[in-house]
Amino acid sequence: MILDQDYIDSYSRDFSQIICDNHFTNKGYISGQDIVELTSSSQLNLMVIRELFEDWQKQVDSFTQNPYFDYKDKAVKEALSDFMIVLSRAIKIEQNDFAPLLSKAVTKTIFLAVDPVAFIEEILDERHEKSTAYVKELQKYIKWYTQMWVPAAEDWASESGDIIWKQKLYEGLEKETNDSTQAVSLLAPLQDVLSLDFDKLIKEVPQKLKDEPVPELVEKVEETVPKHYIVEPSETVIDNQEEEAPKEEASNEDLIETIDPSIVWAKFDSGENPYMKGSITHLKEGMGINQRIMFTKRLFQGNPDLMDQAIIELDATDSFFEAIDLLNQSFVKSLNWDIHSEEVMELLQLIFRKYDSV
């Protein structure tokens, strides 16, 4: 399953415009209480509030970085907390500022409904400080799939390791989402405002047949075989009165071209890629949502679990060459990758950025 990000962004903007036009017709601003009752989807309303407080928290964090004051002082921390409580009761947002906030919340609400595992993973992976307090904070705003994600998030907070909490997340999804129409049901309140085209929103990727022949590769191999070995079924080839031993047919997996780490490293290291960004510690740091969708669809057969496991294994490698060897052995051949494709090159760029400064 993959999501069409362009369609989601377009839908979110249009949805936001409809809601804003309706609310701001007779009002110059929207209050906190107005947001709580904004739509018939309580989850969307909570997502708007979460986005508001997330932006607010970033401003506060920036504010407390001022080197001239001691923000760790007990009295200062209490005063700042009281100040934030007072401010939370005085929310007052004009339309031009609220529309993009609502649009972002709609996008995340759709993402949560359709792909809850990826949504929760992204939130927790982006959070540097792990704590049970943050999990409790999330519970205030994310009311869908709680039986699935809360136990996994609690494991995340206890720093049990990525593989453990993510495995619990996947297992929880299987237990909770046994109805294929659940996302449609959750998003029904949004459809009352603006119809969602699920054929555009969600695209199912069929499982590739691993036994399917690869015409181009087979043709290249046949061209390298001496002509006197290519015979009709009724013919027999005899050389010095000895029967030629039958040649083993090469499997499709053996015919697939693998990645040469030396060539790839030299290509990226030479500066041929002007859009190459700085170094990263973990692959997900440099991976955008669109890339995640592309990798899942084109490299991992539409299976987000398989992609996440691959990223974890790649992050655990100790060098660029070891990472490429892992790709060749575990994914390139078995998943029939075209190593010259755009998606493979973008994944290799991410791996290069991880080891560029090592």
SS3 track for the chain: CEECHHHHHHHHHHHHHHHHHHHCCCCCCEEHHHHHCCCCCHHHHHHHHHHHHHHHHHHHHHHCCCCCCCCCCHHHHHHHHHHHHHHHCCCEECHHHHHHHHHHHHHHHHHHHHCHHHHHHHHHHHCCCCCHHHHHHHHHHCCCCHHHHHHHHHHHHCCCCHHHHHHHHHHHHHHHCCCCCHHHHHCHHHHCCCCCCHHHHEECCCCCCCCCCCHHHHHHHHHCCCHHHCCCCCCCCEECCEECCCCCCCCHHHHCCCCCHHHHHHHHHCCCCCCCCCCCCCHHHHCCHHHHHHHHHHCCCCCHHHHHHHHHHHHCCCCHHHHHHHHHHHHHCCCCCCCCCHHHHHHHHHHHHHHCCC
The predicted model scores a pTM of: 0.57
For residue 251, what pLDDT is reported?
Answer: 53
For residue 230, what pLDDT is reported?
Answer: 36
Residue partners of 172: CB distance under 8 A and separation at least 6: 145, 147, 148, 149, 151, 152
Q: What is the pLDDT along the chain (358 residues), one digit of tens a residue?
A: 567 888 999 999 999 999 999 999 989 999 988 999 999 999 999 999 999 888 877 777 777 777 888 878 888 878 877 777 777 778 899 999 999 999 999 999 999 998 888 889 888 888 877 888 889 989 999 999 988 899 889 989 887 676 788 888 887 776 665 555 678 889 999 999 999 988 888 765 444 433 444 334 333 334 433 433 333 444 444 444 444 555 555 455 556 688 988 888 888 877 655 445 567 888 887 777 667 778 888 899 888 888 889 999 998 998 989 999 999 999 998 899 988 888 898 899 899 988 876 5
Alpha-carbon distances, residue 303 vs 176, 223, 241 (angstroms): 18, 36, 54
Return left, alpha or beta for 301; rule: phi > 0 is left, psi -120 to 50 is alpha, else beta. Answer: left
- The answer to whether the CB of 259 falls within 8 A of the CB of 299 is no
How many other CB atoms sit within 10 Å of the CB of residue 249? 8
Residue partners of 124: CB distance under 8 A and separation at least 6: 153, 156, 165
Tokens of 350: 């991410």
Q: How far apart are CA 78 and CA 56, in angstroms?
A: 17
Alpha-carbon distances, residue 127 vs 61, 75, 121, 130, 168 (angstroms): 14, 27, 10, 7, 18
